[in-house]
Amino acid sequence: MKRALITGCTGQDGAYLAKFLLEKGYQVFGTYRRVSTPNFWRLQYLDVLDKITLIPVDMADMASILEAVTLTDPQEVYNLAAQSYVGASFDQPLLTAEIDGSGATRILEIIRHLRKDIRFYQASTSELYGTASETPQTETTRFWPNSPYASAKLMSFQNTRIYREAYGMFACNGILFNHESPLRGMEFVTRKITNAVARIKLGLQEELVLGNLAAGRDWGYAPEYVEAMWMILQQETPDDFVCATGEIHAVKELVDEAFRLVDLDPGRYVRTDETLLRPKDVELLCGDCSKITRVVGWKPKTTFRELVKIMVDADLKRWQDYLKGESFPWDAQNYPGDITLLMRHKKK
């Protein structure tokens, strides 16, 4: 039986990947952060929590990563752990560099010294393109990061490539464009919108406050993207690949589509607030996935409209069930509606 180690197993992609690999017959080990309150809701939601083995790891702590790799002796390591929220990286740039930049290098070093035949997947990102020099972006488009998150991810991207070329390691980057699902974290714009739309429809919330409505993204469906991660590691030759849908939609379009699905007029409920603007945003991203389609055989299936519907339906059902008194693994009830967060990174 093949063994896979997933860092960041409690996150959106980690949970979907754990489920996918279990279905492929893998023994799955996942790392989690020791925190005062357990954070396993996604693994419970997908009914995989009791089918995987969890190991406490912090990506800042080399010893805990070394122990995880030694104990699990995996054939494949998927490095998904990250401070993944771009906005927060302006507040915590050094922590983000430590986790997202140095974290990957810690694993690469461990693999280099311990067992160079371990296949390594690095969760790279379309954010590397920042202010993109061309549209759509491919594997050869220039990187021009616009955030501390993206510059940290640039380090891990380059070290993954460098360890591949310098030491002959099977180390690959998936340059994944935004991918979403009902398991997406609440602070990301897609889920923030679909959760708010559900609450507004049910009379639980009065308004939705957003930042940059003009930003354009290439949004795909997360379960399809974790399959791409696995496919990348099954190739004969290690390489870097873009995963994307090739379609751009503005945040405003996402808002309109989500409200349309529940027959409400967004004009009545949505306002913008400049404290939600990032000091520097990425205005437009759109990927060209022809290389991964040609070489690996992966292509996206779910359309933008289908994705928004999946997410709105899921959030609506969860709030309806919640109102009926049902309990189930879920994150939204942990977010108090009325707290004021001081946005340190607000545009000056």
Residue-wise DSSP of 319-341: HHHHHTT---S-SGGGS-TTPPP
C-beta atoms surrounding 61 within 10 Å:
13
Residue showing the smallest CB distance to ligand NAP in the complex: 11
Alpha carbons 191 and 184: distance in angstroms, whole number: 6
Active site residues: 125, 127, 149
* Residue 227, Cβ density class (10 Å: 0-12 exposed, 13-18 middle, ≥19 buried): middle
Residue 37 tokens read as 């309150």
Residue 80, binding choice from ligand F7E, ligand NAP, none, Cβ under 5 to 8 Å by partner class:
ligand NAP
Distance in angstroms (rounded) separating the CA atoms of residues 80 and 321: 31
What residue ranges bind ligand F7E (CB under 6 A)? 84, 86-87, 125-127, 177-178, 187-190, 192, 210-212, 215, 217, 251, 276, 278, 281-282
From ligand NAP, ligand F7E, none, which one binds at residue 192 (CB under 5 to 8 Å depending on kind)? ligand F7E
- 284, β-bridge pairs: 216
Minimum CB distance to ligand F7E, residue 188 (Å):
4
Question: Quick one: 169 or 243, whose CB is closer to ligand F7E?
Answer: 243
Identify which of residues 8 and 238 has a Cβ nearer to ligand NAP in the complex: 8
127 and 86 Cβ atoms separated by less than 8 Å:
yes
User: Whole-number minimum distance, CB 281 to ligand F7E, in Å?
Assistant: 5
Is the CB of 190 or the CB of 277 nearer to ligand NAP?
A: 190
- Among 32, 149, 162, 175, residue whose Cα is nearest residue 97: 149
Judged by the rule CB under 6 A, the positions of this chain that interact with ligand NAP are: 8, 10-14, 33, 39, 57-60, 80-84, 99, 123, 125, 176, 178-179, 185
- Give dist(CA 37, CA 31) in Å, integer: 16
Question: Closer to ligand NAP at the Cβ: 119 or 179?
Answer: 179
CB of 222: closest distance to ligand NAP in angstroms?
6
* Shortest separation between residue 282's beta carbon and ligand F7E, angstroms: 6
Six-digit token string for 206: 């009065």
